[in-house]
Amino acid sequence: MGNLGFNLLIFPGFLFVATLGFLWMGIERKLTARFQWRMGPPLWQPYIDFLKLMIKETLIPANAQRFMFITPPLLAFAGVLISSLILFRTSLFPKTSFLGDVVVFLYFLLFPSLALILGGSASGNPLAAMGVSREIKLMLSYELPLILAVFVPVWKTGSVKFAQIMSMQLQKGAFALHYPSCFIAFIVALLSIQAKLAFPPYDIPEGETEIMGGPLIEYSGSLLGMFYLTRGILHFLLPSFLVFLFWGGFPFNRWQWILSFLKALVVFLIMVVIKNINPRIRIDQAVRFFWSRVFVLGIIAMGLAIAGW
């Protein structure tokens, strides 16, 4: 029980993923600033922003549904924390992997999006309701392609256990380098998590210049801080998840953990580049893109995987 508590709160749980998540967020803000010919904030700015939010007053709108407004930030944080623990504890202790942990991981990864939908709906603000509508449409667009992409390496491994996926790659090499189906699936998953993180061109639910933050418009103080923390953890968790599935796993043994972090950083930097070279698109364009192109790519990847490629 003591080991589980340490794993949950320190490593590879909360403190580990939160520290690296905010670092990744600082890198993203710094690189974005350089794209715009600015100096940008220091790398430690996300840590400061989070602490400022946690000590500020939390205001709850008079017409909000109080319980449903307060609960979603905690739900979102719990979802990413459990997802992080499943993924990185398997990397650290492969024997802790259990049957279907990939499915459970994907299930808890839904919590941040569902929390935004619940919180925005409970706020009573019409702009938040508009952001919720966009979030629902966007989530329904990228989730199925993401599931298709995830189950390509699952098919190759013949198992829905993270430990088996990592073990096979450690023996035979990264899936994305050896199978065309897995490389295509990686592209599908990369585009999907770009939308899950609400990075441009998929920052449609927030739309600061249109709906002033969308579902988060009424949030402040520690409640907004919890959403900010969740988003920071996702900055590190989602690229690491892709490395785990397609680029050799995420082992912590010997010096391989350094290579794992570098791979995750490269995947994240690709996402930041995509963010900075594309303008925001409309929600109908995003839905059309995911269902007419990304979903088709996911089907092709599944077909190639079944054919043995």
Between vectors from CA 40 to CA 37 and to CA 41, what angle results, nearest 5°? Answer: 175
Report d(CA 256, CA 241) in Å as an integer. Answer: 16
DSSP 120-183: HHHS--HHHHHHHHHHHHHHHHHHHHHHHHHHHHHHHHT-S-HHHHHHHHHHH--HHHH-HHHH
What pLDDT does 180 receive? 95
Report d(CA 253, CA 97) in Å as an integer. Answer: 16
Report d(CA 109, CA 76) in Å as an integer. Answer: 9
Name the stretches of the chain with pLDDT < 50. 1-2
What pLDDT does 249 receive? 86
What pLDDT does 110 receive? 95
Q: b/e for 4-15, b at 16 or more Cβ within 10 A?
A: eeebbeebbbbe
User: Which residues, at least 6 apart from 226, have a Cβ–Cβ distance to it below 8 Å?
Assistant: 73, 74, 76, 77
Nearest to 247 by CA among 170, 149, 164, 163: 170
| C-alpha distance from residue 207 to each of 127, 132, 137, 199, 216 (Å) | 10, 12, 14, 11, 11
Whether the CA torsion 177, 143, 197, 235 is positive or negative: it is negative
Nearest to 169 by CA among 116, 107, 244: 244
Report d(CA 202, CA 286) in Å as an integer. Answer: 7
- For residue 7, what are its two tokens? 């794993």
> Long-range contacts for 42-48 (Cβ within 8 Å, ≥24 apart)?
46/22, 46/228, 46/232, 47/22
pTM of the model: 0.94
Report d(CA 186, CA 183) in Å as an integer. Answer: 5
Count of domains forming the chain = 1
Domain range enclosing 40:
2-307
What pLDDT does 2 receive? 47
- For residue 222, what are its two tokens? 């520690």
What pLDDT does 95 receive? 86
